[in-house]
Chains A and B, each alone.
Chain A
Amino acid sequence: EAQVTQNPRYLITVTGKKLTVTCSQNMNHEYMSWYRQDPGLGLRQIYYSMNVEVTDKGDVPEGYKVSRKEKRNFPLILESPSPNQTSLYFCASSLSTSGRFDTQYFGPGTRLTVL
């Protein structure tokens, strides 16, 4: 089944404790991205990647890191999480490097709480 998977689905952590949210897609998509969703603000892009070893900042990259060592995986790293990073996070992928024209396929989401 074609899908985007994220782990963990729920995470409660404390300020400053490094964490990684994994994202994997099995559709051989070139483009992957991370979003955070907060009430009233919709989806805001954190980082995106147009291909392996190519990553770029989105609208709200501060406090986050990503890597794209393999085509299928695009982990999101929070080196020192803070309470303002409490949010619902979505990973998404699309077929081509021109993200604007392709359907975005979203993972199920990761609800992160930073105490």
Chain B
Amino acid sequence: GQQVMQIPQYQHVQEGEDFTTYCNSSTTLSNIQWYKQRPGGHPVFLIQLVKSGEVKKQKRLTFQFGEAKKNSSLHITATQTTDVGTYFCAGGDSNYQLIWGAGTKLIIKP
């Protein structure tokens, strides 16, 4: 079935360093959503991208949707301790469902 691959599984960064997670689909997606799950919490919606080549920013977070609508990325500039958590992408498939990536866990090194 359709899959969305998300890498890396974990990323350790020093506070102040940048962080990026990538999602790739084998087929064209209708849209892509990004969620953040804090440790011990539940996924919380961050943003949705729909258009080919779309770029959206939320303060230090930059979200991109590829030209072919098969890949997406989330980039965090100058990470802070409040950024800790797992980031998930979820792509809309041809059956009107969301296909979830496995998530990237952001760990801030002390």
Residues of A participating in the B interface, judged by any CB pair closer than 8 Å: 35, 40-45, 48, 58-59, 90, 92, 97-101, 103-109
Inter-chain contact A103/B98, CB cutoff 8 Å: no
Q: Number of B residues contacting the other chain (C-beta, 8 Å)?
A: 24
Selected A-B contacts with CB under 8 Å, 18 pairs: A40-B9, A40-B102, A43-B88, A45-B97, A45-B100, A59-B1, A90-B42, A99-B98, A100-B30, A100-B93, A100-B98, A101-B30, A101-B31, A101-B48, A101-B92, A104-B45, A105-B45, A108-B42
User: Closest 4 interchain pairs by CB?
Assistant: A100-B92, A42-B102, A106-B42, A103-B45
Complex Cα distance A90/B44, Å?
12
Asked if B85 is an interface residue, CB under 8 A from chain A, the answer is: no
Of B6, B33, B42, B93, which is in contact with the most chain A CB atoms at under 10 Å from its CB? Answer: B42
| Chain B residues whose CB sits within 8 angstroms of the CB of A107 once the complex forms | 42
A86 vs chain B, min Cβ distance (A): 17
Asked if B66 is an interface residue, CB under 8 A from chain A, the answer is: no
| Chain A residues whose CB sits within 8 angstroms of the CB of B33 once the complex forms | 103-104
Inter-chain contact B101/A42, CB cutoff 8 Å: yes
Inter-chain contact B88/A42, CB cutoff 8 Å: yes
Inter-chain contact A43/B92, CB cutoff 8 Å: no
Inter-chain contact B100/A44, CB cutoff 8 Å: yes
Inter-chain contact B97/A106, CB cutoff 8 Å: no
A60 vs chain B, min Cβ distance (A): 12
Inter-chain contact B102/A41, CB cutoff 8 Å: yes
